[in-house]
């Protein structure tokens, strides 16, 4: 029955409970893949992460006495900025140990999502793209719209710098780099480069991420015992 529920959860939300480990801990696995869907639904042929699924799940994780930690797997090209930032803020506000692992890529608004965890990994072939905020459609008030985009960009830059080891100045340099991307400004960072820049904590894979998460859970429980 438990296995059937887990399979249904994976199919419906891309999440799962990892509880077959030696330590008998419950780790919540979350996946952020495809496009980050905001207030408008994406094309039916596009894989998407829906923030209305993730936000209640994150609240449930924080409130649960059973969940010991969270592992987040990312492979996203970005998407809705407001939705992405809201998910990132929720992840960052969790009191429980959290570890992220960038697999294929974590581009655009995927950057804040990757660094929102308390510790982050990226596989050697993984990539992250940092670029300025873009917008589609008609601008009614150009000057006002530009100011709004700049403020949104500042929010992203501030979040990245506050949740990683990279400075705001360096983020802006990478965002406005005209030599990396074809027909665009920005920078593509491969695994080791993302770590070297201080954006991601460590290069590693699934075993590294799980090992680190168990280590963080031990420290988390030790602190709780000290307080008690």
| CB neighbour class for 148 (10 Å; exposed up to 12, middle 13-18, buried from 19) | middle
Q: Give the pair of three-digit tokens for residue 128.
A: 């992250």
194/199 Cα distance (integer angstroms): 5
Q: What value does the CA radius of gyration of the chain take, rounded to a whole number of Å? A: 18
Residue 94 CB-half CA count within 13 A = 32
Q: Is 131 a catalytic residue?
A: yes
Q: Is 108 a catalytic residue?
A: yes
131, 161, 164, 214: the catalytic one is 131
3-state secondary structure of 191: helix
15, 100, 108, 161: the catalytic one is 108
Say if strands 127-130 and 26-37 run parallel, antiparallel, or are unpaired: unpaired
22/1 Cα distance (integer angstroms): 21
CB 50 within 8 A of CB 34: no
**Catalytic residues, which ones?**
108, 131
């Amino acid at each position: 029955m438990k296995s059937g529920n887990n399979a249904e959860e994976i199919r419906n939300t891309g999440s799962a409970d990892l509880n077959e480990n030696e330590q008998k801990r419950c780790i919540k696995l979350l996946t952020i893949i495809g496009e980050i869907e905001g207030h408008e639904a994406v094309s039916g042929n596009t894989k998407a992460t829906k923030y209305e699924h993730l936000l209640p799940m994150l609240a449930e994780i924080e409130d649960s006495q059973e969940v010991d930690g969270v592992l987040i797997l990312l492979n996203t090209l970005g998407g809705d900025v407001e939705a992405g930032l809201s998910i990132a803020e929720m992840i960052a506000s969790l009191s429980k140990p959290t570890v992220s692992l960038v697999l294929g890529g974590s581009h655009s608004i995927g950057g804040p999502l990757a660094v929102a965890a308390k510790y982050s990994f990226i596989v050697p072939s993984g990539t992250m793209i940092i670029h300025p905020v873009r917008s589609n459609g008609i601008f009614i008030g150009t000057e006002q719209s530009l100011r709004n985009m700049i403020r949104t960009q500042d929010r992203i830059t501030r979040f990245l710098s506050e949740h990683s080891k990279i400075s705001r100045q360096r983020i802006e340099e990478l965002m406005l780099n005209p030599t990396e991307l074809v027909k665009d400004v920005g920078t593509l960072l491969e695994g080791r480069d993302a770590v070297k820049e201080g954006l991601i904590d460590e290069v590693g894979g699934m075993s590294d991420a799980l090992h680190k998460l168990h280590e963080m859970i031990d420290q988390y429980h030790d602190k709780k015992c000290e307080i008690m």
